[in-house]
Structure 1
Amino acid sequence: MLNQYQQPIGDHLVDYHAGELPEIDQLIGTYARVEKLSLAKHGEDLYAVLGPEANDKDFTYLPINPFQNFSDYTAYIKTLETSNDPYYLAIMDKETGKALGLFALLNIDTANRALEMGWVIYSDKLKQHRIATEAQFLVMQYSFEHLAYRRYQWKCDRFNQPSYHAAIRLGFTYEGCLRNAVVYKNRSRDSQFFSIIDQEWPAIKAMFQKWLHPSNFDAQAQQLASLNSFKTIKDA
């Protein structure tokens, strides 16, 4: 598209206006339920994820460490449940009603309709489980279809290979690395950036829906086909 000076410019957006902030009570899927984080509802369950029994190596790439006592932990969760950005959410096993992890929507840019998925902390029960994948899908769907945001972002420490591979598996496109972006735990971090944009969402939604269908799992809830085997868009 060219302007009156024959300069290339971005596509014109008709009737564009700023977006809304997230406001989630619960998002319900087949296997997972996502709820606004609450100390009263989720505090006891999540102590196993963030407390002294947590695996230290799960916190290598987070700016926090496991809490060594319940008092410090509850004080921390109280700050999370009142935060609007990041906007913290609990990941629930729909069958048992137990909270198994948490994540957050952050860097919420209403003017540009862009936001980020981050602060992902899974219990061992969530790792490589369809509950975690569906929880990610439910929040993506909410962001694109309810909030009508244009950009959904993921970023991670460049050494955090599990997070890198998770982003690619979930349909994000790798965009590049911002060098010396952050200092945390008294060390330097280069941040890798990934995104999904609104034009890509229909194809990514179809990928998730096919993978999450009960026919794609055996009696032990193990996948029969991988998520990326249903991908129909090419990586950039």
Structure 2
Amino acid sequence: MPQQPLRDWQPAPTPAREALNGQYVRLEPLDPARHGDDLWQALQGPDSDPLLWDYLPYGPFGQRADFDAWLSRHAASQDPLFFAVVEPGSGRAQGLLSYLNIATQHGSIEIGHICYGRVMQRSVQASEVIYLLARHAFANGYRRLEWKCNNDNVRSKRAAERFGFSYEGLFRQHMVIKGRNRDTAWYSIIDSEWPALAAGYERWLAADNFSADGQQKQRLEDLR
């Protein structure tokens, strides 16, 4: 059956280099001068996650100079467009991630390059980051939000499913990363799905869904 033309379709705008504010976290355009010390500590310090770099095409970094050069390249990029994840109370950067594969003419955009310090992992902040980026993308006219990861990366696949992304399939022998084969699992959210997903995120992020010690009362999967 032939596809119907989109009514009044206009390409989505290129994402602006601007801060996104949430309840528990703030996304700031990556700035090595402002965020570099915090990110070095969070991502390479003694309490960092030793598995962090396993499925990324870069890192770990043995020298601070190499790390700073990597941050500077990311900060100058438009696609990927990088954000530092900042804890509002302390102002400390706890991780970074990006939009990438920004196809404005098709209304498609991806979230990736996720590098979190240990304190960010499996936290309310980590979930709110995805909500903020998804909300921003769909509010600006994007039709499709993508998530891709190494098929061996169980943590990333579980996260995609928890965040409401739908599995679309496996690209076999898609890449060679650090001398190893990567089969890539593809996930997406489309614009028609976002209103219901957004409502679930907002119910989950509400202050009354968390106990005094920060434990969730209802799971995101159940609320969305």
What TM-score, normalized by structure 1, do the two folds share?
A: 0.92
Distance 2:202 2:156 in 1: 22
Residue 154 of structure 1 aligns to a residue whose secondary structure is: strand
Consecutive unaligned residues in structure 2, runs of 5 or more: none
CA distance in 2, matches of 1:100, 1:63: 20
Whether 2:136 is the aligned partner of 1:179: answer no
Q: In structure 2, what is the Cα distance between the partners aligned to 1:26 and 1:131?
A: 15
1:167 corresponds to: 160
Partner SS for 1:156 = strand
Report the CA distance between 1:51 and its aligned residue: 2.8
1-structure distance, mates of 2:124, 2:132 = 12
2:3 paired with 1:20: no
Instruction: Kindly state the Cα deviation for residue 11 of structure 1 after the two structures are TM-superposed.
Output: 2.9
Q: Is the 8 A contact 1:50 1:73 kept in 2?
A: no
Name segments (4+ residues, structure 1) moved above 2 Å: 49-56
Q: Deviation at 1:35?
A: 0.8
Query: What's the RMSD between the two structures over aligned residues?
Result: 1.1
Structure 1 residues 172-225: Cα deviation after superposition (integer angstroms, max 9, x where no partner): 000010000010110101000000000001001001000000000011111111
How many Å separate the matches in 2 of 1:214 and 1:120? 26
Give the TM-score taking structure 2 as reference length: 0.96
Deviations 1:128-182 (A, max 9, x none): 110111111101100001x210000001111100000000000100001000001
- Correspondent of 1:68 among 58, 62, 67: 62
Alignment partner of 1:125: what SS?
helix
Equivalenced residues, count: 223
Whichever residue aligns with residue 77 of structure 1, its letter is L
Distance 2:43 2:211 in 1: 31
Give me the whole-angstrom Cα distance separating, in 2, the residues matched to 1:217 and 1:28: 20
**Corresponding residue of 1:234:** none
Alpha-carbon distance between aligned partners in 2 of 1:74 and 1:108, rounded to the nearest angstrom:
25
Q: C-alpha distance in 2, partners of 1:60/1:74?
A: 20
SS in structure 2 opposite 1:199? Answer: coil
Letter in 2 for 1:161: V
Segment of structure 1 superposing worse, 136-145 or 68-77: 68-77
Counterpart for residue 121 of structure 1? 115
SS in structure 2 of the partner of residue 58 of structure 1: coil
Aligned partner of 2:134 among 140, 162, 166 = 140
| Residue segments in structure 1 that go unaligned for 5+ positions in a row | 1-7, 232-236
* 1:105 partner amino acid: Y
Query: Which of 79, 89, 92 is the equivalent residue of 1:85?
Result: 79
AA at the equivalent of 1:206: A
